Amino acid sequence: QTVVTQEPSLTVSPGGTVTLTCASSTGAVTSAYYPNWFQQKPGQAPRALIFDTDNKYSWTPARFSGSLLGGKAAMTLSGVQPEDEADYYCLLYYDGGQLWVFGGGTKLTVL
């Protein structure tokens, strides 16, 4: 069974920078996994932030960026704001089975 792993929790100070990562049990994550990133606040539906590794939506704040880092998908928040406190999920595509798998999520605390 394919497992996608994220940091369970991270803490960052307002104005700081933090990088969230997303690893695959099958090996290095590449652009072929079409990494997606989502933000979810309590009681709300997930909101899409990044797709296809580093592509942003029109509504994605400029401080969010996606990349590949050390064999993992990564999302960096630069100049973190208090409103960025949320759960963040990555999503990877596995072509062999034509399925998508979510990571377990990272709870980001801004403190």
Q: How far is the CB of 27 from other proteins (least distance, A)?
A: 19
Binding site for other proteins (CB under 8 A): 1, 34, 36, 38, 40, 45-48, 51-52, 55, 57, 89, 91, 93, 97-105
Q: How far is the CB of 14 from other proteins (least distance, A)?
A: 26
Task: Choose between 27 and 97: whose C-beta lies nearer to other proteins.
Answer: 97
Task: Choose between 19 and 93: whose C-beta lies nearer to other proteins.
Answer: 93
Q: How far is the CB of 87 from other proteins (least distance, A)?
A: 8
Q: How far is the CB of 53 from other proteins (least distance, A)?
A: 9
CA dist 21 → 28, 55, 65, 92 (Å)? 12, 16, 12, 12
Task: Choose between 40 and 76: whose C-beta lies nearer to other proteins.
Answer: 40
